[in-house]
Amino acid sequence: MAPAKPTEPFGHRFTDQGLLAQALTHRSAGAPHNERLEFLGDALLDLIVAEALYARWPRADEGALTRARAELVRESTLARLARELDLGPRLMLGPGEMKSGGHRRDSILSDALEAVIAAIYLDAGYDACRAAVLAWFAAELDGFEIAKVGKDAKTRLQESLQAKQRPLPAYELLAESGDDHAKTFHVRCSVSEPEVSAEGEGGSRRAAEQLAAEAVLAALARLD
């Protein structure tokens, strides 16, 4: 039987199909799964997007570039790109994740896309990886207006309190639930002057804190 021909499902012709298979294997389907690749892909994605932003906006300061990168590599953006690349149907999931629709979940899709980035890098090197990622992000980068990227809720809340010489907010993890690969975090954000608190839930502690901070900002605005 002739060997299978390499395919280009993500804009890259894999020489090592095993790398692609691993990148698309969720931990629920057994080992080798994609978590180590996800770790490497996350770092590569940050570098590639940072490099692109640095080149495109030579006058933007560090803060603007940092916020722009966070906007571009956030979970929801990666999940949407994964759907555009038809990544979901290619995922290898365990029976439980298949039954619960894991191939449609933002967290699983975004993690798998990062794993694919690492797989391309290990298969063909940085230049090939960079070319593939920039092709995926072409529309995002072309339509991006760095001047309109706002600060996140936690930063805005901290700066607002500092400007009024008030104590900084406190964040408390109230609960976390779910399996290791699909946890939900429940967080409270509190400020003491005036006494206001609000809660938020998210797929990561950071996301939950951002939602709680946004709610506190809204409550403070009503009091002003």
Query: 61-90 pLDDT, tens per residue?
Result: 888 888 889 888 988 889 999 999 999 999
Residue 7: inside a domain: no
Question: Are 161 and 168 a contacting pair, CB within 8 Å?
Answer: yes
Residue 207: inside a domain: yes
One domain, residues 121 and 178: no
| Dist. CA 185–CA 182, nearest whole Å | 10
List the chain residues with pLDDT less than 70: 1-7, 147-148, 150, 181-182, 224
**pLDDT for the residue 181:** 64
* Residue 90 backbone phi and psi in degrees, to 5: -90, -10
Residue 166: inside a domain: yes
Half-sphere exposure of 30 (CA within 13 A, CB side): 1
**Domain end point (choices 93, 122, 148):** 148
Helix (H), strand (E) at residue 106: helix 106-124
One domain, residues 113 and 205: no
3-state secondary structure of 190: strand
* Closest of 97, 117, 99 to residue 108, by C-alpha: 97
One domain, residues 116 and 184: no
Q: How many domains does the chain contain in total?
A: 2
**Domain end point (choices 148, 180, 203):** 148
One domain, residues 185 and 100: no
One domain, residues 86 and 144: yes
Residue 5: inside a domain: no
Active site residues: 42, 114
| Dist. CA 158–CA 68, nearest whole Å | 19
**Domain end point (choices 132, 148, 164):** 148
* Closest of 42, 46, 39, 44 to residue 66, by C-alpha: 46
Residue 162: inside a domain: yes
Residue 78: inside a domain: yes
One domain, residues 198 and 159: yes
Instruction: Please enumerate, by residue number, every residue annotated as part of a binding site.
Output: 38, 111, 114
* Closest of 92, 109, 116, 76 to residue 182, by C-alpha: 109
Residue 6: inside a domain: no
**Order of strands across the sheet with 184-192?**
170-177, 184-192, 195-202
Domain extent for 186: 153-223
One domain, residues 95 and 160: no
CATH number at residue 69: 1.10.1520.10
CATH number at residue 193: 3.30.160.20
**pLDDT for the residue 223:** 81
